Amino acid sequence: MNDIICIGVGAELRSDDSLGLLVARELHRRFAEKLTVVETTGDGSSLFHAWEGAGGALLIDAMLAPDPPGSVLRFDLSREGLPASHTCHSSHAFGVTDAVELARTLHRLPRITILYGIVGKCFELGNGLSDCVLKGIPELMQLIEEDLRALRTA
């Protein structure tokens, strides 16, 4: 698990957009000795630096998608791109999806790249997650932990 990096993406004061940061902090609390955890705002260049040299990158971010708010999503980006109907919430012109696709083109995408998210309801200024996003966190954590176990034995 040492060459796997977990990257929590988000904005602390934008309601559901803080999801990636909060989940990253919980992963750090649970796996501090075994897992590198980084927090970022989702600027594409910061992602390039964060996953550089890693064998795998687990990205966690709030999502915009046609699925109902609170839906838990997982995409294996090492195999395929993010569907056009699904995006990561970002205030950056060059965000998560763009960084992943540029890294893929430049052959700088980690061998394993998985994006986890929960479809957000509110991205306005404010503290705290909406109830539907909060309810999805246990399922999201379970997916991440299952993948971490599988990667450790691979």
Alpha-carbon distance 5 to 49, whole Å?
A: 11
Tell me how far CA of residue 18 lies from CA of 8, 12, 29, 42, 45, in angstroms.
Answer: 9, 5, 17, 11, 19
Residue whose structure tokens are 């909406």: 130
Task: Tell me the CATH number at 97.
Answer: 3.40.50.1450
Beta strands in 11-64 (DSSP E): 36-40, 56-64
pTM: 0.91
Tens digit of pLDDT per residue, the chain (154 long)?
Answer: 568 999 999 988 889 999 999 999 999 999 888 889 999 988 778 888 889 889 899 999 999 889 999 999 999 999 888 887 777 766 556 678 888 888 989 999 999 999 999 999 988 888 889 999 999 999 999 999 999 988 877 6
Domain total for the chain? 1
Which pLDDT value is given to residue 124? 86
Residue span of the structural domain in which 9 resides: 4-153
